Chains A and B, each alone.
Chain A
């Protein structure tokens, strides 16, 4: 670019200005060292990130374990209470596991007296039950073999005797 007279003059003034500026320029090493001293350590920032990640991980794990233990406790309570006083169908209503985060509402009102009556009735029927083979457990001298046939009786007598014995 060819300079005109004005441009040459301006350039000369700027050159004079640059000479003045060079005299007051701070040392590069001084500014660079100060910048390096100001710079936060990258190692520190990395360790900070790692520490934060570990803390987040630990918190997440502990929360997961805690929520799991809470759920397990609820199931244990259900398992303990089921066979004692409440009928299975009622237990299913009472200990229905929650499907959402909201507190589950029971669909039926549990009546304890009805439940007790049902249990007593069932217990009575169970205690009255007898095995069909229990007669075989009795003594052989009780029913069938309390008398013996005589050797001198006829076959007809023997047949009638056996019929009576079977009845």
Chain B
């Protein structure tokens, strides 16, 4: 699909016109069409930002669309639309989590969210262990891995979404990979053997 390289910075507030949401004059209907194309990826990213809590991710995504409609989130054309949208989703998720934490004074725990999801979906044993391992990673490392492997973004784009330097993104990426592998190895011997045998047959176990 021919994609115009629009762009974007993070949230900014203005009282712009009713029909445009972008600095480069992109119509709201055009923006809506682009958002619809990115919707599945956006939901996946929202899920990652909300620690795999589907209800919370849906709420965050709706809030993001509301911000766009209210011209609180304005696309400025400084990067790709996807990068801008993911940055808005991440900020909104952080904000929503903070609000929820203040309301309940109890932070959402990873294990609670994960256990709830487990009851909702049937997944393979390997996928279950992978998600558990992913949930144990620090947020920055998990987000970097998600953006690179799930969303197919480059490290520089991931750094832009997370509002960190490229060096930091690379460091999170490398450490996240090492930690994920180590966790998966620790989780199950069978899984670990399978992993090592498939990827590196010459590995001595």
Contacts and interface: CB of A to CB of B under 8 A. Distances in A.
A39 B181 CA distance: 45
A18 B44 contact: yes
B12 interface: no
A16 interface: yes
A13 B69 contact: no
Interface stretch (B2-10, B78-86, B144-152): B144-152
Contact of B35 (A17, A26, A28, A38): A28
A81 interface: no
Contacts of A25: 39-40, 43-44
A32 B65 contact: yes
Contacts of A9: 195, 198-199
Majority secondary structure, B binding face: helix
A10 B200 contact: no
Nearest to A42: B18
Interface in B38-73: 39-40, 43-44, 47, 54, 58, 61-63, 65-66, 69-70
B32 A21 contact: no
B150 A17 contact: yes
B18 A17 contact: no
A89 to B, nearest CB: 62
B62 A31 contact: yes
A38 B35 CA distance: 18
A45 B33 CA distance: 27
Interface stretch (B91-99, B108-116, B122-130): B122-130
B180 interface: yes
A7 B130 CA distance: 14
A20 B145 contact: no
B149 A10 contact: yes
B66 A17 contact: no
Contacts of B187: none
B48 to A, nearest CB: 9
Contacts of B199: 5-6, 8-9
Interface in A79-130: none
Contacts of B149: 7, 10-11, 14
B183 to A, nearest CB: 12
Given A17-B131, A17-B150, A21-B40, A6 B47 contact: no
Contacts of A11: 149
B36 interface: yes
Contact of B130 (A1, A8, A13, A39): A13
A2 interface: no
Interface of A: 1, 5-11, 13-18, 20-22, 24-26, 28-29, 31-32, 34-36, 38-40, 42
Given A14-B145, A14-B150, A35-B62, 6 more contacts: A6-B177, A16-B130, A17-B150, A31-B65, A32-B65, A35-B66
Interface of B: 18, 32, 35-36, 39-40, 43-44, 47, 54, 58, 61-63, 65-66, 69-70, 121, 123-124, 126-127, 130-131, 145-146, 149-150, 154, 177, 180-181, 195, 198-200
20 contacts: A5-B199, A7-B177, A10-B180, A11-B149, A13-B130, A14-B145, A14-B146, A16-B127, A17-B44, A21-B43, A21-B44, A21-B47, A22-B44, A24-B54, A25-B43, A29-B36, A35-B69, A38-B62, A38-B66, A39-B69
